[in-house]
Structure 1
Amino acid sequence: MSTMKSVRTGGVGKIDVVDVERPVPGPKDALVRIRACGICGTDATFLHMGGMPARAHLGGDMIPVALGHEPAGEVVEVGAEVDGLEMGDRVVVNPQDAPTGIIGCGGRYGGMSEYLLIENAEVGRSVAVFPDTVPFDVASLNEPMAVARHCVNRSEAKPGDKVVVFGAGPIGLGAAIWLKLRGVEHVVVADVIPSRLEKALAVGADAVIDSAEEDVAARLTELHGRSANALGQPRPGTDIFIDAAGVPIVFNTVVNSAKWGAKLVMVAVQKKGSEFDLGGMLRSELTLVASQGYPTEIFEVTPELVEHQERFAKLISHRVPFSEAERAFELALTPGAAEKVVVTLDDED
């Protein structure tokens, strides 16, 4: 039996690098040698919990999760019934297409492994091929950039709109990139970490706001002009607010800043509940739009990721070899220590 190394949750806040059986592809499957895999906030959630709850009939205890849902790699085996894939093809993966469960999110397989089985492999559905001009680490951004793209699609932002993105993590910065590539007139990014605001400007944001130091509403009024809510109270002229931060203060800031007919798109998970000013929403007729995952965007983004790879590459703050996976997850779990961590799997790993 051939084995491979794979990362899964250990105890609370810890990972285990374990030896597991290397998958053997069937006639409809493909085997991908993983070359890069990003670490996401969802991975951090599993680590904070120490796994995921088992089903009630199994006792409800936490069970390990095979981690990694942002993989990129190269095809090393192809089943006889698979069309459109060849050995050596470089691919990104749709983790939600696996029949044995979402890759890296409770499914049988995780992308933070030396090899990944693509079950019922189909180009355009479970995988997409990308050219060798794109580094694997940049290609691994495909999945989170699909999340960011869906958020922008849900916003229905038009070129003449004025937009602010709260949260300059990978999703927020990805949303800023997509907004500018969409031709949106003015995009602001707000965060509390100065280095992230510098990154926002580097990827194309028109302006930034340090929300720990600046009055957000006053600064937005400077940037987007003055408007009003339904009662005529002065408000910034911002058309669309995007919450990629997931903290209650952002929601409340938006409600207090929204003009009549503004829109709030929520892509970040609210980790803690809070009391919201529903009356404030009413006074602005604020539209709340939720954005979850990437129903159609997972491979729609791939050609543009290829075309604009230099811009997207700026999102990666740390590239860590697989042999130092524990350090990679420590970086990702330490607030403010990293922006986007990608684990690389090269020959020497």
Structure 2
Amino acid sequence: MATMKSVLAARNKVDVVDVERPVPGPKDALVRVRACGICGTDTFFLHLGGMPTGADGSTRAIPLGHEPAGEVVEVGAEVTGLAVGNRVVVNPQAAPTGIIGCGGELGGMDEYLLVENAKVGTSVAVLPDDMPFDVAALNEPMAVARHAVNRSGARPTDKVVVFGAGPIGLGAAIWLKLRGVEHVTVVDIIPERLETALSVGADAVVDSAVEDLTGRLKELHGEAANALGQPRAGTDIYLDAAGAPAVFDSVIANAKWHARLVMVAVQKKGEVDLGGMLRSELTLIASQGYPTEIFEVTAELVEHRERFGKLISHRVPFAEVGRAFELALTPGAAEKVVVTFP
């Protein structure tokens, strides 16, 4: 019996265990994972010690990793459009046995990943032979960012503010600029993140820890008013990729008449000034996952690989996967960690 390494969620750490290597059926493909990103969902499972199973707080260990990129090593007899040696990214939500790395039976941080019912354009997408695996592993989070931008309805003439210069916020900034949006400002409190925002194409950045956000937005986007005629910044769209209660407060304090707020970050508990929203007729738009965007982003990710590659702060070999998750668990230690496989 052939075995492989699998990474399981434990309490504030990971366990690397030996499991049976999958054997693809006639409709499946087997992918040798070459890179897999770590995101906030992974650290959420580590804080809990696995997947919640009941109201008593009990959990079960699950394989981690939902941002895999790799190389096809076996193809079932009934699979079309795939060949051994193809570089691919995988849609974690297409697995019939549950979302890969998020409670399903499979994990993208395993050495080998079974692609069940392998179908190009649905469960898997093929990449050029020269596409770096580490950048390819950004496909899934960049689909999340793309969905938020799609939900915003941003037009070239819009002025947009992105709160949070993590991977999703920076990905959104890239998509906004590729969409032709006139002016994109990124707001964060970590100077190094803001430097990255400028390097990937943001028109301006604001360090809200030391700068007057309202003054800067009026300077950058001009002045407008809310429904009552009170002076406000001329920003058309706000995108929350930070998830801090202060973001909602800042948006409501600055929102002009008919401004829009796209919420893509997981929210912490906090109170919302509904009266303030009313005074601006502020539209709140929720953005969850990537209903159609998982492979919508792939061609542009390939085309702009150097630009997207700047989002990766740490590349950690699989032999040090424990350290990779320690980095991801430590606030401020890393922006985007990608585990690389031999």
Interval containing the TM-score (normalised by the shorter chain): over 0.9
Q: Which runs of 5+ in 2 are unaligned?
A: none
| Per-residue deviation, 1:100 | 0.2
AA matched with 2:319: S
Aligned residues: CA RMSD:
0.9
| Per-residue deviation, 1:334 | 0.9
Q: Deviations over 1:210-249 (max 9, x none)?
A: 0111121111000000001011111000000000001111
Partner of 2:302: 306
Partner of 2:29: 30
Q: Which runs of 5+ in 1 are unaligned?
A: none
Partner of 1:170: 167
Distance in 2, matches of 1:215 and 1:166, equals 15
Q: Deviations over 1:4-58 (max 9, x none)?
A: 0011112x211101111100100100000000000011001001111111257xx
Partner of 2:176: 179
Partner of 1:3: 3
What is the DSSP-based 3-state SS (H/G/I as helix, E as strand, rest coil) of the residue aligned with 2:216?
Answer: helix
* Alignment equivalent of 2:152, drawn from 155, 167, 183: 155
> What TM-score, normalized to structure 2?
0.99
Sequence identity of aligned pairs in percent? Answer: 77
Determine whether 1:117 maps to 2:114: yes
* Alignment equivalent of 2:285, drawn from 274, 282, 289: 289
After superposition, residues 138-149 of structure 1 pair within 5 angstroms as: 138-149=135-146
> What TM-score, normalized to structure 1?
0.97
Moved segments of 4+, more than 6 Å: none
Determine whether 1:323 maps to 2:319: yes
Number of aligned residue pairs: give it.
342
Distance in 1, matches of 2:227 and 2:309, equals 42
Distance in 2, matches of 1:217 and 1:55, equals 45
Distance in 2, matches of 1:201 and 1:53, equals 39
Distance in 1, matches of 2:130 and 2:218, equals 43
Partner of 2:123: 126
After superposition, residues 112-261 of structure 1 pair within 5 angstroms as: 112-261=109-258
Partner of 1:72: 69
Partner of 1:18: 17
Distance in 1, matches of 2:129 and 2:216, equals 43
| Per-residue deviation, 1:339 | 0.8
What is the DSSP-based 3-state SS (H/G/I as helix, E as strand, rest coil) of the residue aligned with 1:176?
Answer: helix
Distance 1:155 1:332, change over 3 A: same
What is the DSSP-based 3-state SS (H/G/I as helix, E as strand, rest coil) of the residue aligned with 1:208?
Answer: strand
Distance 1:35 1:163, change over 3 A: same
| Per-residue deviation, 1:60 | 6.0
Distance in 1, matches of 2:53 and 2:59, equals 6
Distance in 2, matches of 1:132 and 1:250, equals 42
AA matched with 1:246: G
Distance in 2, matches of 1:19 and 1:184, equals 48
* Alignment equivalent of 2:94, drawn from 97, 100, 114: 97
Partner of 1:51: 50
| Per-residue deviation, 1:187 | 0.1
AA matched with 1:172: G
AA matched with 1:256: A
AA matched with 1:255: I
What is the DSSP-based 3-state SS (H/G/I as helix, E as strand, rest coil) of the residue aligned with 1:235?
Answer: strand
What is the DSSP-based 3-state SS (H/G/I as helix, E as strand, rest coil) of the residue aligned with 2:100?
Answer: coil
What is the DSSP-based 3-state SS (H/G/I as helix, E as strand, rest coil) of the residue aligned with 1:241?
Answer: strand
AA matched with 2:18: D
What is the DSSP-based 3-state SS (H/G/I as helix, E as strand, rest coil) of the residue aligned with 1:256?
Answer: helix
What is the DSSP-based 3-state SS (H/G/I as helix, E as strand, rest coil) of the residue aligned with 1:15?
Answer: strand
AA matched with 1:144: P
Determine whether 1:41 maps to 2:40: yes
Partner of 1:341: 337
What is the DSSP-based 3-state SS (H/G/I as helix, E as strand, rest coil) of the residue aligned with 1:254?
Answer: helix
| Per-residue deviation, 1:196 | 0.1
